[in-house]
Amino acid sequence: MAIRLGDVAPNFKATTTEGEIDFYQWMGDKWAVLFSHPKDFTPVCTTELGAVAKLKPEFEKRGVKVIGLSVDAVKDHAGWSKDIEETQGARLNFPLIADADRKVSDLYDMIHPNANDTFTVRSVFVIDNNKKVRLTITYPASTGRNFDEILRTIDSLKLTSNHQVATPVNWKQGDDVIIVPALSNEDAKKKFPNGWKELKPYLRIVPDPSKQTTT
């Protein structure tokens, strides 16, 4: 069954390049990005895994762990990781699940038979520290993902979880945000005492509240 936003991310045990894991134990109290790629020793996947390895400090800064998956065996992952390091200039620094029996792929609906009945598509699940699924993205095999965009969505998810705001189109950390329509003007005055720019009664703009210093 498809996994939807707000669902509890199912737990699993798996073999990875860093040994056997229980997913929940591996996450601990952190958020996680679980992403699948179609196949080892393929060009787009090689560039993606190099990019994620380089971005690992950015994920860590946000309290997020990353873990990849394909239906290849762990010995393939180990051999391929040398190619990733050689061609992308980054050593694999996060676990890759070897899902040869497709247990996790099936659990997370990562194989889309009308696209390819053998390999996983490029799925992304952002899972919060309560094990809730907060974001899902699916790309086809031929299109590499933009992991800066995944960092951007994590910034939005964390900000909007902590403040009664939403982030507008193309928002990035530090940009102005939108007061959620559910917050009345009366309550908004308490939360945003410096006021807001009201373009429409439902479109109220305030500076990023996480960047505000209190005086």
Active-site residues, by number, are 45
Residue 114 or 142: the one with the smaller Cβ distance to ligand BEZ is 142
Phi-psi region of 92 (alpha: psi -120 to 50; beta: other; left: phi over 0): beta
Integer Cα distance of 160 and 106 in angstroms: 31
Tell whether residue 68 is a contact of ligand BEZ (CB under 6 A): no
Find out whether 120 and 98 touch, Cβ atoms under 8 Å.
no
Tell whether residue 43 is a contact of ligand BEZ (CB under 6 A): yes
Applying CB under 6 A, among 44, 52, 121, 206 the residue interacting with ligand BEZ is 44
Piece of 39-47, 58-66, 71-79, 161-169 that binds ligand BEZ (CB under 6 A): 39-47
Judged by CB under 6 A, how many residues of this single chain contact ligand BEZ? Answer: 8
Integer Cα distance of 136 and 123 in angstroms: 7
Beta strands (DSSP E) in the chain are 13-16, 19-22, 31-36, 64-70, 96-98, 122-127, 133-139, 165-166, 177-179, 197-200, 203-206
Tell whether residue 100 is a contact of ligand BEZ (CB under 6 A): no
Residue pointed to by tokens 């994590």: 154
Piece of 38-46, 49-57, 75-83, 179-187 that binds ligand BEZ (CB under 6 A): 38-46
Piece of 18-26, 37-45, 59-67, 153-161 that binds ligand BEZ (CB under 6 A): 37-45
Residues 137-156 contacting ligand BEZ, CB under 6 A: 141-142
Contact set with ligand BEZ (CB under 6 A): 38-39, 42-45, 141-142
